[in-house]
Amino acid sequence: MQWFSRWKSAGRSNGSRLLTREQITALLPRVPDWRILERNGITRLERVFEFPDLAGALAFAIQVGAVAETDGHHPAMLVEHNQVKVSWWTISKGGLLPDDFANAARTDALYQSG
């Protein structure tokens, strides 16, 4: 998580250029519980988080949403029973930017602090 915080705060994001397949492969070990998938032709990061019950899942989704709102970058989330599926990608660019990996790491940190 800290690596991505430093990446973002130091301005190392490559701005609006989509990550290449090689860059994605290199960054993925930094968020090992996430998987890369392609849906509707768009590459995304996705992870399913599990909770003891629906209340825990909803609370987590609200936390992720609050952080996303302050950053102005919003994930897709699906809350089902005791799970929250979170997907990160940059909608306006149609794929993954470094900030999507940073946000995946921030989401992991929220889950771990929960």
Please name the amino acid found at residue 31.
Answer: V
Q: How far is CA 35 from the centre of its chain?
A: 10
The whole-angstrom separation of Cα 47 and Cα 45 is 7
Query: 87 has which bridge partners?
Result: 46, 76
Please give the pLDDT value at position 8.
53
User: Among 101, 3, 2, which residue's Cα sits nearest to residue 43?
Assistant: 101
- pLDDT 10s digits, 92-110: 899 999 999 999 999 999 9
Nearest CA-CA partner of 95 in 47, 48, 36, 49: 36
Dihedral sign computed on CA atoms, order 34, 31, 93, 87: positive
Tokens read off for 99: 């900030």
Per domain, the residue ranges of the chain are 42-114
CATH number of the domain at 42-114, out of 3.30.450.20, 3.30.1360.20, 2.40.160.100, 3.60.15.10? Answer: 3.30.1360.20
* Tens-place pLDDT, residues 19-64: 999 999 999 999 999 999 999 999 999 999 999 999 999 999 999 9
